[in-house]
Amino acid sequence: METAASGLNERSGIEIERMEQLDRQAAYTGTDEVSPALTFDVTRLEDYLFANLPGFAAPLRVKQFRGGQSNPTYLLATDLQKYVLRRKPPGKLLPSAHAVDREYKVLSALYPQKFPVPKPLLYCEDESIVGTSFYLMAHVDGRVFWDLPMPQSNPAERAAVYDSMNATLAKLHAFDPAAIGLADFGKGEDYVARQVARWAKQYIASATEKIVEMDLLAAWLPDNLPPQRAVRIVHGDYRLDNVIFAPGLPEVRAVIDWELSTIGDPLADFTYHLMAWEMPAAGGFGSLKTLDLEELGIPSRDTYVAAYAKRTGFDPAPSIDVYLAYNFFRLAAIVQGIVGRVRDGTAANRHAAARAEAVRPLAETAMHFARRAGAP
C-alpha cells in the first residue's frame, strides 16, 4: 500500500495547498513500528498462521500502517509473502462498531466476482491470538492518494483516476446483494433512517461537548428523508484514500476499509463519497471545495454526479441536499466516536486527536444542507 509520485505539477497558484497536502501524504503513507497500545504476541500469531494458513513460513515481521484510525491494520511480512491483518482495537467499543467479521464477509463475496478487493485469506474469532478477533488478507501493491487534489500528479492522470473511482463505485452498486450471497448482510430497506438513528445514539455515547446542530439534525432528518430507490451493497466509507491504484496507471487495484459496509441505499453511499466536493477545511480530511477543479483536471461535482447517474440509472440530484445533510451528520458522529476513543485511550492512529476540531464544522455543514432542503 505504498504511494508513488508521478508528473509533479509546477503550478505556483496552489503552492500553499500543495505543501499542506504533501504533509498529509507523508503523514499517512507507509508503516511504523507497532504502537505499544496495539502490540501482540508475534510468536503466538506465527504458530496460528503456520497451522491455519497454507504456504505460511516464519519468521514474521510486523509493522503498523499509519493510515486509518478505526480498525488497527498491520503489514505482516515473511521472506516469501506479505499479508495485511485487520483487527478490532482493544478496550471498550461502541455497539456494533469495528465489525471485522463483516469486513471479511463482504470481501469473501466480492472477490469471486472480480470486484477489486484484496483476497481474503482467513478470519479468526479467537481473541487469545492477537487480543481481539481479526482477519487476514493478501497485500496489494499499489498507490494510495491521500490528497484529493493529487498534488504530485497531472490533469490527465487526475481525470482518469476520478473517472475510474466513479466507475468502480458504480460497479459495486450494480450487484444484486442476494445474487452474491449478501442477502443477510443487512436489513436493506429504510437504510438512511436506520443510519440516522444509529449514529445519533453513537454520537451521544461518545460526546465530549454539546453541539446544537447535531441535536437539530437528529430531530429533523428522520421526517425529511427521500424514499429509497434500490437495495445495493453500501461501502460506507468510499473515498480516494480507501482505494489502491495500480503503479503508474489510473486503474483501481483494490477498494479497502469495509468496516461500515452493509446493504442499503446506493445514493446514500454515493453522496457520502461526494462530500469531498463540499468538505470544510477543519479536521484534515482534505477538500476540493475551494480549488480550481478545471485546471487540476478533476471533474466538477455536477459532472461527477452525471457520470454516476449515467452508469447506474440512480440520480441523486433531486434529493442531493438532504443526502448531503445526512452524510455530514453521519461523518460528524463517526469522528466524534474517534474523539471518544482518544478520550478513552483506544484510538489506533497517532493523528486521531486532531480530528476533534472537525466535529463542529461537519455538523455546521450538515445543517447548511438541511436548511437548503427546507429545515428551519
pTM comes to: 0.88
- Both 64 and 186 in one domain: the answer is no
Domain that holds residue 354: 155-372
pLDDT value for 26: 77
- CATH number, domain of 99, equals 3.30.200.20
Round to whole Å and give the CA distance between 281 and 261.
Answer: 26
- Both 76 and 184 in one domain: the answer is no
Task: Assess if residue 149 is contained within a domain.
Answer: no
Round to whole Å and give the CA distance between 27 and 131.
Answer: 27
Round to whole Å and give the CA distance between 74 and 36.
Answer: 13
- Both 206 and 336 in one domain: the answer is yes
Other beta carbons within 10 Å of 32? 10
State what percent of residues in the chain have pLDDT above 70. 87
- Both 292 and 233 in one domain: the answer is yes
Side chain identity at residue 100, one-letter code: V
Round to whole Å and give the CA distance between 198 and 281.
Answer: 26
Segments of the chain with pLDDT less than 50 = 1-22
- Both 79 and 179 in one domain: the answer is no
Q: Which of 138, 165, 187 is the last residue of a domain?
A: 138
Residue found under cell 494458513: 53
- Both 44 and 96 in one domain: the answer is yes
Task: Assess if residue 146 is contained within a domain.
Answer: no
**Residue 59: cis peptide before it, omega within 30 degrees of 0:** yes
Task: Assess if residue 49 is contained within a domain.
Answer: yes
Beta carbons of 133 and 71 less than 8 angstroms apart:
no
pLDDT value for 5: 30
Task: Assess if residue 3 is contained within a domain.
Answer: no
pLDDT value for 93: 56
The number of folded domains in the chain is 2
Question: Which pairing describes strands 134-138 and 82-87: parallel, antiparallel, or unpaired?
Answer: antiparallel
- Both 159 and 292 in one domain: the answer is yes
Beta carbons of 326 and 302 less than 8 angstroms apart:
no
Residue found under cell 466513479: 166
- Both 295 and 320 in one domain: the answer is yes
Q: Which of 105, 138, 171 is the last residue of a domain?
A: 138
- Both 216 and 313 in one domain: the answer is yes
Round to whole Å and give the CA distance between 74 and 129.
Answer: 14
Query: What nine digits make up the cell of 189?
Result: 430497506
Q: Which of 87, 113, 138 is the last residue of a domain?
A: 138
- HEC string of the chain equals CCCCCCCCCCCHHHHHHHHHHHHHHHHHCCEECCCHHHCCCHHHHHHHHHHHCCCCCCCCEEEEECCCCCCCEEEEECCCCEEEEEECCCCCCCCCCCCHHHHHHHHHHHHHHCCCCCCEEEEECCCCCCCCCEEEEECCCCECCCCCCCCCCCHHHHHHHHHHHHHHHHHHCCCCHHHHCCCCCCCCCCHHHHHHHHHHHHHHHHCCCCCHHHHHHHHHHHHCCCCCCCCEEECCCCCHHHEEECCCCCCEEEECCCCCCEEECHHHHHHHHHHHHCCCCCCCCCCCCCCCHHHHCCCCHHHHHHHHHHHHCCCCHHHHHHHHHHHHHHHHHHHHHHHHHHHHCCCCCCCHHHHHHHHHHHHHHHHHHHHHCCCC
Interior/surface letters 103-138, b for 16+ CB within 10 angstroms, e for the rest: bbbbbbbbbeeebbbbebbbbbeeeebbbbbbbbbe
Other beta carbons within 10 Å of 30? 15
Query: What nine digits make up the cell of 79?
Result: 521472506
- CATH number, domain of 176, equals 3.90.1200.10
Task: Assess if residue 4 is contained within a domain.
Answer: no
pLDDT value for 10: 29
Interior/surface letters 171-205, b for 16+ CB within 10 angstroms, e for the rest: bbbebebeebebeebbebeebbbebbebbbebbee
Task: Assess if residue 5 is contained within a domain.
Answer: no
Task: Assess if residue 7 is contained within a domain.
Answer: no
Chain-wide mean pLDDT for the chain?
89
- Both 163 and 87 in one domain: the answer is no
Show Cβ contacts of residue 272 under 8 Å, excluding neighbours closer than 6 positions.
236, 237, 238, 327, 330, 331
- Both 39 and 109 in one domain: the answer is yes
pLDDT value for 348: 58
Task: Assess if residue 190 is contained within a domain.
Answer: yes
- Both 159 and 306 in one domain: the answer is yes
C-alpha dist (Å) from residue 42 to 75, 81, 149, 187: 12, 16, 39, 38
